[in-house]
């Protein structure tokens, strides 16, 4: 097996592990699949809809893609597993284009090695499409100095993917990056400015068709999407989700972007004399600085929102990894090697203890779990472990990191997956509720259900809950309430408790089902 084939195999294993075998997990996967499920049920892709209510936080590109995969492969896998292939598609697109931009396989290896990327890359979330769009657009910028027509088309297409994935943020970051590059003489050329025209032409269909159709359908929903969910969310005018912490990324990037950021710093230092002349350094540097400044200025901060910054960091680091000094290589390689070894051994030992009934404290914390050996997951876990032993023989920093992350993630997503899904899935709890729910059930009013909770009740029980207090919910015979404490909520004399439940070991969410007295 050639070295290149082995590296492609490592990347393919990293992409595939964790895509299947578990239900949509809260928070982001649950509500995202709820939007996909609406498309599967109704065929309506124009208005993102969650359990019967419009949900205008994001445009529909990712949800349409996921629904297409679910329809295509729905006969071979559960709808949520088939839909998760959309993330595999967009992540693969990301890896392909950053390799082309950096002209090195080191860039995708550094990206998959990033500690903050692995979990989110395997979730059913629209941010994976956003990141892919940014990767495509940066490739377009990278070649625009030599080839303005294809460069502009790739730039506009990438910006369009980013726009229809998460709104104005992606195109805004890319537009500011293009303007920032004009600070360098290498980018103040006719070719680069000409590529902007081609980019605008390629971007126009993405930017105009869906918003125009949405506005024709409902000006109110268009206003909700553009002014509330995009501009209002960023500026903080509308307090929607997230944490207002402008130092969030300063605190989280040191671990989130390992191992790329130390190597990127080294690449900048080594080529500091070329900074004013080398467009290959200027592009990822400008993109990272723009992203860091814009995201830090936002009124909302989440680790998830830092994903776009990993793209320029991986591209920048790819240019310095081969020349990294021995002290930096040892400083980064030994923790990756021994950290993966210790974590992998702990995961194997813990799993063996769980199967043998020696993990009493863990079993009591998540009641109802029955330990079992799944031959497929076990075979994959053994293959991942053996693959790691072969990979670390290369003694290459990027491979050691990528293989280590794949080992730990792969064991969690194979032998530990049934246990994790038992703890995180709502399926068992909702099935228990269904056994207590009268038939015919009628409509269900709800109180204090979050969007992910409304989505999973819709998926697993067919409940499109109606918010308590609305005119539609006035005559509903059932009331479903969520509380963050295990204390019966106030409900009035007209309601009688029918059922209460929570996920195994979950002490933060309790659900109560009431029926009208008499």
Which position has the higher pLDDT, 251 or 359?
251
Q: How far is CA 482 from CA 256, 331, 511, in A?
A: 33, 48, 5
Among 62-76, 130-144, 193-207, 222-236, whose mean pLDDT is lowest? Answer: 222-236
The alpha carbon of 217 is separated from its chain's Cα centroid by a whole number of angstroms, namely: 29
Report the DSSP pairing between strands 466-467 and 510-516: unpaired
Supply the pLDDT for residue 465: 93
DSSP-based three-state secondary structure for 50: strand
In this structure, what is the dihedral angle of CA atoms 90, 91, 96, 98, given to the nearest 10 degrees?
110
Q: Mind listing the pLDDT tens digit for each residue in 478-507?
A: 999 999 988 899 988 899 999 999 999 888
Angle between helix 61-73 and helix 28-42 axes, rounded to 10 deg: 70
Supply the pLDDT for residue 4: 83
What is the H or E stretch that residue 387 is in? helix 375-391
Supply the pLDDT for residue 238: 59
Domain ranges across the chain: 3-242, 326-424, 427-516
Average pLDDT taken over every residue of the chain: 94
What is the H or E stretch that residue 173 is in? helix 169-181
Q: Mind listing the pLDDT tens digit for each residue in 336-380?
A: 999 999 999 999 999 999 998 888 888 888 888 988 999 999 999
Q: Mind listing the pLDDT tens digit for each residue in 307-335?
A: 999 999 999 999 999 999 999 999 999 99
> Dihedral of CA 116/120/126/130: which sign?
positive
The position carrying tokens 């709104």 is 167
Angle between helix 61-73 and helix 85-102 axes, rounded to 10 deg: 120
Q: How many residues does the chain have?
A: 518
Is pLDDT above 90 for 240?
Answer: no
């Amino acid at each position: 097996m050639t070295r290149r084939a082995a590296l492609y195999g490592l990347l393919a294993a990293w992409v595939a592990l964790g895509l299947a075998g578990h239900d949509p997990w809260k928070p982001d996967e649950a509500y995202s699949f709820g939007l996909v499920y609406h498309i599967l049920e109704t065929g309506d892709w124009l208005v993102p809809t969650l359990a019967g209510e419009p949900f205008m936080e994001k445009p529909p590109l990712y949800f349409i893609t996921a629904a297409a995969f679910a329809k295509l492969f729905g006969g071979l896998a559960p709808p949520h597993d088939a839909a998760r292939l959309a993330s595999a598609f967009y992540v693969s697109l990301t890896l392909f284009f950053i390799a082309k931009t950096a002209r090195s396989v080191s860039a995708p290896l550094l990206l998959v090695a990033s500690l903050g990327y692995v979990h989110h890359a395997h979730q059913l979330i629209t941010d994976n499409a956003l990141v892919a769009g940014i990767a495509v657009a940066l490739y377009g910028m990278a070649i625009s100095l030599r080839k303005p027509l294809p460069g502009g088309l790739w730039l506009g297409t990438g910006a369009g993917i980013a726009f229809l994935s998460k709104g104005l943020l992606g195109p805004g970051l890319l537009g500011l990056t293009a303007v920032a590059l004009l600070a360098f003489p290498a980018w103040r050329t006719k070719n680069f400015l000409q590529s902007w025209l081609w980019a605008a032409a390629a971007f126009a269909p993405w930017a105009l068709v869906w918003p125009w159709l949405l506005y024709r359908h409902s000006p109110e929903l268009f206003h909700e999407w553009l002014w509330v969910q995009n501009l209002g969310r960023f500026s903080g005018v509308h307090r929607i989700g997230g944490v207002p912490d402008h130092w969030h990324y300063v605190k989280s990037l040191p671990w989130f972007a390992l191992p790329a950021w130390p190597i990127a710093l080294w690449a900048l230092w080594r080529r500091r004399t070329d900074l004013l002349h080398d467009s290959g350094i200027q592009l990822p540097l400008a993109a990272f600085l723009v992203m860091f400044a814009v995201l830090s200025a936002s009124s909302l901060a989440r680790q998830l929102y830092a994903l776009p910054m990993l793209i320029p960091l991986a591209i920048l680091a790819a240019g310095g990894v081969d020349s990294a000094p021995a002290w930096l290589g040892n400083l980064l390689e030994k923790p990756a090697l021994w950290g993966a070894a210790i974590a992998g051994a702990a995961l194997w030992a813990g799993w063996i203890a769980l199967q043998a009934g020696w993990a009493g404290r863990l079993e009591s914390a998540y009641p109802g779990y029955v330990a079992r050996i799944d031959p497929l997951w076990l075979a994959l876990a053994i293959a991942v472990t053996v693959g790691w032993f072969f990979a670390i023989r290369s003694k290459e920093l990027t491979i050691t990191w990528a293989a280590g992350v794949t080992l730990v993630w792969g064991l969690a997503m194979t032998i530990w997956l049934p246990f994790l899904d038992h703890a995180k899935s709502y399926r068992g709890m909702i099935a228990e509720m269904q056994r207590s729910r009268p038939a015919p059930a009628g409509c269900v009013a709800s109180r204090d259900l979050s969007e992910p909770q409304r989505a999973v009740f819709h998926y697993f029980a067919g409940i499109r809950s109606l918010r308590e207090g609305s005119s539609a919910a006035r005559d509903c015979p059932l009331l479903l309430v969520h509380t963050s404490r295990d204390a019966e909520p106030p409900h009035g004399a007209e309601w009688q408790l029918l059922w209460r439940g929570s996920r195994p070991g979950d002490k933060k969410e309790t659900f109560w089902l009431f029926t009208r007295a008499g």
